[in-house]
Structure 1
Amino acid sequence: MRALRFHQFGEPASVLHTETVPDPIARSKGVVVKILAASVNASDVRNIQGTLPWTTTLPRTPGRDFAGIVVQGPTEYLSKEVWGTGDLGLIQDGSHTDYLVIPEAAVAEKPNTLSFEDAATVGVAYITAWLSLLDAGHLVSGDVLAVTGANGAVGTAAIQLAKWRGATVIGIIRRESTRQAVLRAGADYVLNMSQQDMHDAILAITGGKGSTMAFDTVGGELFEPCLNLLSRKGRLIAITMSGPRRVCFNMVNFFRRELHLIGVDSFYLNTTACSAILSQLQPCFEAGILRPLSIARCYPIEQALEAYHEVQQGGLDGKVVLTMHQSTRVTQSL
């Protein structure tokens, strides 16, 4: 079978190659999935570059998200259309290949309303948003959520999850061209931080109280401004860092307002844990309550280096998806 492989860390254009490797075999309590589509995430690029907080063992096949069909394993799983994500490509070979072995416990049926390509956009973004807002942040109906990077994959997923749970959502963007996409995702308000003062605008929206939660998907220079957006006892969820790893903020303001700072890391969640969350999301996608992310480009695996280049360059409004075998796409994304 074909698999993308890297034997050393570096830029994908230099170290990532398509190789022929042995077909996998379903062993005890495992199944083989024929991969039909798999997203290329920014974390896949960083994994190959060796710039994640830890380094994977080499050689390695990258890829975290996938959608496909079970072709080997116990009879009750055969021909099931599945989707998944997790620590693939990190501590075990990932999804940028023709076939993938996962545990039986990680089998999650994909929504029957989604194509394989659309289903492949969901994993990392929605799992990260779920862990951040629902598991860590305990978001409830009536919360006011401010989301930085609202036009990004995780930001878009966060908006939809928050609206599903009854929150008011304020999307924060840098480029005016992304406003309509954030509104389509469900945001109640959209603030362009290049044109407006975030703090003043959110105080105006909330009657001077501030947001009860801020979800910072950008990090770096936005860390302290996000703290300042919060109402008393507000929660800031941090998932990433851009630029220097150290940040500064007013500690007196922090404890006097009884603010909460919560860090979330989705990298340590394995395929089985992620499948449990995806199974809870499945009926929401089938009912149209949640939607997959938009797809900017689809590339066959033969053009994987072009796909990785697109993700590495950034600036796309949507996901980049690899296709391994022919699939019929049903467009239901944002």
Structure 2
Amino acid sequence: MKALVATRFGSPAHMTLEERPMPVCKPGHSLVRIHAATVNPLSSLVRSGRVAAARAPRVLSNDGSGVVEDSATFARGTRVAIYGGAQLGISEDGLQQQWVVVEDKRLIELPESFDLDEGAALPINYVTAYQALTRVGQVQAGQIVLVSGASGALGHALIQIALALEATPVGIVSTSRKVPYAQRSGATTVIDLSRQDLKQAVLDATAGSGADLAFDPVGGELLGQLMGALRTRGAVVSIGFVGGTTASVDVADLVVEEKRILGYDAWLETDEDVASAFAAIRGFIAKGLLRPSIDSGYALAEYAAAHERLASREATGSILLRP
């Protein structure tokens, strides 16, 4: 079978297509024929050598989808999404290969309404969005929540789950081209940073009160700006740092208004956390409230183009590699 292997981490990383033996199923696991694996910010961090737990050579990607071929738990032919947690694509080989043996607890049977591309985009994005909103942000119905990177795969999931939880999402995008994508995700108010001042636009949208919460997959200087757009005792939940790892915060605003900065890391989730999140997500799917967004798909041999697409920050949904 074919496997895409990062044989050396760094900048540039070295990746190659290898022929590997077909894996053999074992107790507590299922053999899955991979349909698609994601190329996401974690993939980029691992291959650049910025994830301490990862060692080359390594097959990347910790979420994707496929079809069960051998299992004691799932019927042959079952279509599944795969949640790789903090192991697949990091300390263990991930999903950018044609076949993989996966622990049964990492497999989620897909509803009939989802195709396999949508299934690949589901696990990490939606568990992250649900847990960031509920466990960390403790969002309440009726609250106004800001979502940065609103046209991306995670921003899309944050908007959809915020709506499912009866909060009001305000999308934030970097260019006018991205506004329609955030609107399609469900944000009725979208702030275009290329044309609008973030704080003033939020105040205008909230009758001067500011937002209750902000969820930030972007990071960098945007994090401090989001804090400035919050109401008294509001909170920013920092989820990622594709825009940079350094932020400037107005300490007076932080102290006087008792605002908070909270971090979220999907790799700290327990198996119980993930199971609970997926139970809620399945309920939202059954009600027709969630639908993943796909930006583009590439063959394994086109991995360089897929990573270039990710690095461009122009993607408006998940980027997939299809073995």
If the length of structure 2 is used for normalisation, what is the TM-score?
0.91
2:178, 2:230 → 1: CA distance?
24
Residue in 1 aligned with 2:196? Answer: 196
Residues 309 and 192 of structure 1: CA distance in aligned 2, closer, same or farther (over 3 Å): closer
2:11, 2:272 → 1: CA distance?
30
Structure 2 counterpart SS, 1:108: strand
Worse-matched range after superposition: 111-120 or 280-289: 280-289
Residue in 2 aligned with 1:329? Answer: none
TM-aligned CA deviation for residue 73 of structure 1: 2.2
Matches within 5 A, 1:24-173: 24-52=23-51, 54-74=52-72, 76-85=74-83, 86-87=85-86, 88-173=88-173
1:242, 1:317 → 2: CA distance?
15
Residue in 1 aligned with 2:223? Answer: 223
2:216, 2:96 → 1: CA distance?
29
1:309, 1:193 → 2: CA distance?
23
Structure 2 counterpart SS, 1:296: strand
1:199, 1:314 → 2: CA distance?
23
Structure 2 counterpart SS, 1:31: strand
Residues 264 and 75 of structure 1: CA distance in aligned 2, closer, same or farther (over 3 Å): closer
Residues 31 and 101 of structure 1 are in contact (CA less than 8 Å); yes or no, is this contact kept in structure 2?
Answer: yes
Q: Deviations over 1:62-120 (max 9, x none)?
A: 01111111112215443321102223201111010111122122221112111111211
Residue 266 of structure 2 corresponds to residue 266 of structure 1: yes
Residues 279 and 66 of structure 1: CA distance in aligned 2, closer, same or farther (over 3 Å): farther
Aligned partner of 1:133: which letter?
L
The sequence identity of aligned pairs, in percent, is 27
TM-aligned CA deviation for residue 5 of structure 1: 0.8
TM-aligned CA deviation for residue 238 of structure 1: 0.7
Residues 272 and 21 of structure 1: CA distance in aligned 2, closer, same or farther (over 3 Å): farther
Aligned partner of 2:178: which letter?
T
2:292, 2:265 → 1: CA distance?
22
2:166, 2:228 → 1: CA distance?
23
Residue 17 of structure 2 corresponds to residue 2 of structure 1: no
Aligned partner of 2:23: which letter?
P
Worse-matched range after superposition: 23-32 or 138-147: 23-32
Q: Which structure is higher in RCO with an 8 Å CA cutoff and minimum separation 6?
A: 1
1:144, 1:308 → 2: CA distance?
34
TM-aligned CA deviation for residue 273 of structure 1: 5.3
Structure 1 counterpart SS, 2:154: helix
1:45, 1:245 → 2: CA distance?
15
Residue in 1 aligned with 2:316? Answer: 317
Residues 244 and 187 of structure 1: CA distance in aligned 2, closer, same or farther (over 3 Å): closer
Q: Deviations over 1:221-258 (max 9, x none)?
A: 11221111111111110122356644332333213222
Residues 276 and 302 of structure 1: CA distance in aligned 2, closer, same or farther (over 3 Å): farther
1:232, 1:129 → 2: CA distance?
24
Aligned partner of 1:221: which letter?
E
Structure 1 counterpart SS, 2:8: coil
- The unaligned stretches of length 5 or more in structure 1 are 325-334
Q: Deviations over 1:290-320 (max 9, x none)?
A: 1111x23222224333333332344233332
Residues 237 and 261 of structure 2 are in contact (CA less than 8 Å); yes or no, is this contact kept in structure 1?
Answer: yes
1:303, 1:272 → 2: CA distance?
36
If the length of structure 1 is used for normalisation, what is the TM-score?
0.88
2:76, 2:270 → 1: CA distance?
22
Residue in 2 aligned with 1:303? Answer: 302
